[in-house]
């Protein structure tokens, strides 16, 4: 059975539709792979940010502890220079309150920094989840493109004009 010109044009159209579906799947997969790469990069940036925050916290806590020790020393020197006994009463209370305040500030620096670092890590994990979802989307796009192509080919074959 020879194909007529109309049959050839019809099959050519079916072929174009089938090929377009495959190409659409490849383009969709490529787009999703790019999304995954960007999300992985963003996750790496956020993990690096969390690391930098932790380093900054350590530095700030050391500086604050040094400042607290300096203030404590100044108070002790002031009390000693005044001739007051520093081991009882108001001078002792003053030293204890200063030490408590310094320790509290140091704790708060660490706490707030740890919270900020955890938020950065949480964002990084969200980016990794987006990357994983994008990779799944890429596979689904490829599969969808080939399934669409198969469906187009079958539909085109089924709807091909019959010879009488």
Angle among Cα 11, 157, 6 to the nearest 5 degrees reads 35
Instruction: Collapse the DSSP code of 88 into the 3-class scheme (helix H, G, I; strand E, B; otherwise coil) and give the result.
Output: coil
H or E element in which residue 12 lies: helix 5-82
What is the reported pLDDT for 143? 87
The helix-helix angle for 5-82 and 89-158 (nearest 10°) equals 180
Q: Where are the domains of the chain?
A: 26-158
pLDDT tens, per residue, the chain with 164 residues: 677 777 677 777 777 788 888 888 888 888 999 999 999 999 999 999 999 999 999 999 999 999 999 999 888 888 877 777 766 778 788 888 989 999 999 999 999 999 999 999 999 999 999 999 999 999 898 888 888 888 887 777 777 767 66
Rg, C-alpha atoms of the chain: 35
Assign residue 83 a region (left: φ > 0; alpha: ψ between -120 and 50; beta: otherwise): left
What is the reported pLDDT for 26? 87
What is the reported pLDDT for 1? 61
pTM listed for this prediction: 0.69
What is the reported pLDDT for 7? 67
What is the reported pLDDT for 164? 61
Euclidean distance between CA atoms 15 and 125, whole angstroms = 43
């Amino acid at each position: 059975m020879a194909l007529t010109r109309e049959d050839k044009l019809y099959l050519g159209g079916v072929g174009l539709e089938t090929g377009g579906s495959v190409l659409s799947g490849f383009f969709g997969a490529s787009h999703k792979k790019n999304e995954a790469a960007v999300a992985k990069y963003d996750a790496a940036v956020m993990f690096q940010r969390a690391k930098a925050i932790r380093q900054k916290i350590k530095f700030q806590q050391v500086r604050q502890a040094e400042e607290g020790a300096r203030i404590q020393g100044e108070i002790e020197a002031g009390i000693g220079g005044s001739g007051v006994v520093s081991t009882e009463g108001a001078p002792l209370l003053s030293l204890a309150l200063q030490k408590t305040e310094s320790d509290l500030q140091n704790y708060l620096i660490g706490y707030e920094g740890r919270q900020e670092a955890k938020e950065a890590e949480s964002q990084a994990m969200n980016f990794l989840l987006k990357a994983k979802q994008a990779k799944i989307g890429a596979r689904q796009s490829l599969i969808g493109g080939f399934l669409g192509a198969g469906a187009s080919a079958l539909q085109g074959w089924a709807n091909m004009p019959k010879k009488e």
